[in-house]
Amino acid sequence: MLDEKSRWTPYWQAAPLAIVFLVFFVLPLAITFMVSFWTYTGYSIEPALVGDNYASAFDKCIDSLPDLCTTFRTYLSTLKFCLMVWLITLVLGFTIAYYLVFEIKSPTTRIVLALLTTIPFWTSNVIRMISWIPLLGRNGLVNQALMGAGITHEPVDWLLYSSFSVTLSLVHINTVFMIVPILNSMSRIDKSLIEAAYDNGASAWQTIWNVIVPLSKTGIAIGSIFVITVVMGDFISIGLMGGQQIASAGKVIETQITALQFPIAAANAIVLLAVVLMIIWTLLRFVDIRKEL
């Protein structure tokens, strides 16, 4: 029996969550949108309704076509990292999830191995980036090994503080976001479907491509959304592993904040938000995420 009192119960139970998101997420986003039309002085931001910040975000972008302006080039480079990291984490994450679900028979072993892949997620990302320094640096282990083996005589420079190290570190940190959702989708696949495919003469690859991949679609989409949004907004890995020399959409915003150009940073944040939302919207057309819960 639902009496008058208990009808309100879910509201007060949900209230703390709603308040936190309202104050620290929804309102900040609204304020960012508002401030992106404001002006600023050296020490404060002033209400206005100007498009200057967007104009400066896209400074000379139309005039200089077909050459790419700084903003377009930054986004292009960020998208390139995105695509690269997405492809690698997808293949790696899918392979590992497949191994855990279909090749490991004992549930206990599966849990232990799955835990092994997730534990680093609970440790510090900054430290996991710093950890590459003794391996990839000029005098690092990799260079020592390469020179010791006589493959090169000079230490290889592009291992650290380069696009290579940024990609490596992003893959290192974000593959877990692919593994977990794909693992989740895959473990719900009815094993008899796989047997049926084999019995009907499908090869291993055909089974993977025509049975397992379509049935893991939701997991793949969720993992992709995670990885792509993280890389699109990244400024920590690109900063640290790129030796603060590589631009990214997130890093541009960070630089403008440091220079106290808040309204311009806000305009760039809104542009980034629009790009990310477009990507998510595209990915969501492939799946219904609520079905997964």
Partner 1 sequence: MTETRSRAFYILSAVFALYVLFLYGPTITILVLSFQGPSGGMTFPMNGVSLHWFHNLWAGIGVPNVVDALSNSLKLGIVVTIITVVISILAGYAFRRRFRGQDALFFTAIASLILPSIIVSLGIALEFQLFNQTITAWGDSLVENYVDIENPTAWTNFLGFIGSSIQDNFQTLMGLFTSGLGAHLTWTLPFGLLIMFAVFNRFNPAYEEAARDLGASPWQTFRFVVLPMILPSLIGVALFGFTLSWDEIARSSQAVGSANTLPLTLRGLTTTVTTPVIYALGTVTTAVSFAVIGTAILTLLIVQARRRRHGSDAGRGV
- For partner 1, which stretch binds (CB under 8 A), given 51-59, 68-76, 88-96, 187-195? 88-96
What Rg, from alpha-carbon coordinates, does the chain have?
24
Among 63, 103, 154, 190, binds partner 1 (CB under 8 A): 103
Q: Which is nearer to partner 1, 20 or 55 (CB)?
A: 20
Q: Taking CB under 8 A as the rule, which mask of x and - marks residues 107-146 in contact with partner 1?
A: ------x-xxx-xx-xxxxxxx-xxxxxx-x-xxx--x--
- The tokens for 158 are 């592009």
Measured between alpha carbons, how far is 109 from 100 in angstroms, rounded to an integer?
9
Q: Which is nearer to partner 1, 70 or 120 (CB)?
A: 120
Q: Which is nearer to partner 1, 63 or 271 (CB)?
A: 271
Which residues 229-288 are close enough to bind partner 1 by CB under 8 A?
229-230, 232-236, 239-240, 244, 250, 253-254, 257, 262, 265-266, 269, 272-273, 276, 280
From the list 250, 97, 257, 92, the residue with the least C-alpha distance to 168 is: 92
Q: Give bridge partners of residue 40 from the DSSP assignment.
A: 45
Q: Does 18 bind partner 1 (CB under 8 A)?
A: yes
Q: Does 97 bind partner 1 (CB under 8 A)?
A: no
Burial 229-242 (b: 16+ CB within 10 A, else e): bbbbbbbbbbbbbb
Which residues 43-62 are close enough to bind partner 1 by CB under 8 A?
44-45
Measured between alpha carbons, how far is 105 from 159 in angstroms, rounded to an integer?
39
Closest approach, Cβ 63 to partner 1, in A, equals: 28
Among 98, 189, 202, 211, binds partner 1 (CB under 8 A): 98
DSSP per-residue letters across 2-42: --HHHHTHHHHHHHHHHHHHIIIIIHHHHHHHHHTT-EE-S
Closest approach, Cβ 185 to partner 1, in A, equals: 14
Which residues 185-214 are close enough to bind partner 1 by CB under 8 A?
204
Q: Are 230 and 177 in contact (CB under 8 A)?
A: yes
